[in-house]
Amino acid sequence: MNLLNKPLEFPDFRRLQNMWPKDWTLPFISLALAVALWYFVGGDDTVDKNVMVPIEVINLPRDLVISNQFKQDILVTISGPRKQVLAIEKGDVARQVDLLRAVPGTMVIKNEIHSISVPRGIKVLRIQPDSIILSLDKLVQKQLVVKPITKGSPASHHNLRQIRMKPESISVTGPQTVLAEIDHLETQIIDLTGLNQPTQLQIPLKLSPALLDLIGETSVTADLAIVEETVEKKISGIPIEIEGNKVGKKISPAAVTVTAALPRSVARDNRDLPSLFRATIIDENEAGQLMVRVVSRGGDKGLEPLEILKVEPPFVTSLEDKKLKDGPATPHSVE
């Protein structure tokens, strides 16, 4: 028979359809869906992985503070698809610690498996450590005076008159148990060796680890009043200036003598010492005597204010008033 002339025969699909069991249709579709789901969702490798999970403290009352050091993260062993595990490594999960009902004291918080919320498909296997210990304390504020600590001595014939700290005190907020044991703050050592003039320095505070955690590295300003030693000196011939409504008034005596504490170098120099002071009339007493006031002009000469110990005489007399009482007298006037 010539095969080229034989007609093509096609399978009878109706017959094949009748041969396929009708009860297998739904199971076959379910199997295909399961394979597809496994491929797209469960096809990743399942791995066990240790990840660091941060601790997140929430709802801490305003009047409380955590006074102890504790680890800021915990080690968690998880199991699940690789992609999801890697996502958790990027910080997608935290261990929340709710302190809404916390009171002062020590709290031991268990790290249970269910205490960490993880995405569906991930399991928490282990947590290390198995607990978190927190010490809670009252939060208080305390004003602490800054105390300067010094060593050495100023230059020869110089003294440290005063140290002024800026600020003089610092307000610190922290745990009550920590601040209860502290009544002042100390500076690092201030070296006075060889200083011969007023000096201003920036000085760090000497802080314990507990205080360092509360206020950090802190510096203050120390104003050092370094002054030269003084000697007592009597200066005569300081003219009395008459001003205001007393101009032209005739007085006796017309000059006063001042005893003052002068820096050693000033007293030793040959200078016009009377020019360092100014004398004026400021008041009249019941006896008609005029009170003399003497002030230092040291600031005009670039010196520290000079200490005036004594003025002689402290009062002068108006010659015009004296003439009315005692008769004519030789006037001594100061223009």
What is the value of pTM for the model shown? 0.60
Dihedral (CA of 62, 68, 69, 73) sign: negative
Interatomic CA distance for residues 287 and 1, integer angstroms: 169
Check: CB of residue 229 under 8 Å from CB of residue 274.
no
Please name which of 259, 255, 241, 239 lies closest in space to residue 307, comparing C-alpha atoms.
259
Classify domain 46-129 by CATH architecture.
Answer: Beta Complex (2.170)
Return the domain boundaries, the chain. 46-129, 141-228, 230-326
Query: Mind listing the pLDDT tens digit of every residue in the chain (335 residues)?
Result: 454 555 555 555 555 555 555 566 667 677 777 766 665 555 557 889 888 899 999 999 999 999 888 889 999 999 988 888 877 766 678 899 999 999 999 999 999 999 998 888 899 999 999 999 999 999 999 999 999 999 999 999 999 999 999 999 999 999 999 999 999 999 999 999 999 999 999 999 999 998 998 999 999 999 999 999 999 999 999 999 987 656 567 889 999 999 999 999 888 876 789 999 999 988 776 666 889 999 998 777 777 788 999 999 999 988 765 554 555 544 444 33
Nearest to 85 by CA among 55, 114, 40, 122: 122
Tens digits of residue pLDDT in 26-47: 676 777 777 666 655 555 578 8
**Tens digits of residue pLDDT in 109-136:** 999 999 998 888 899 999 999 999 999 9
The two three-digit tokens of residue 296, written as one number: 């230092």
Q: Does 141-228 match 46-129 at the fold level?
A: yes
User: What is the third-level CATH fold of 230-326?
Assistant: RNA Polymerase Alpha Subunit; Chain A, domain 2 (2.170.120)
DSSP characters over 169-227: EEEEEEEHHHHTT--EEEEEEEE-TT--S-EEEEEEEE--HHHHHHH-S-EEEEEEEEE
CATH topology of domain 141-228: RNA Polymerase Alpha Subunit; Chain A, domain 2 (2.170.120)
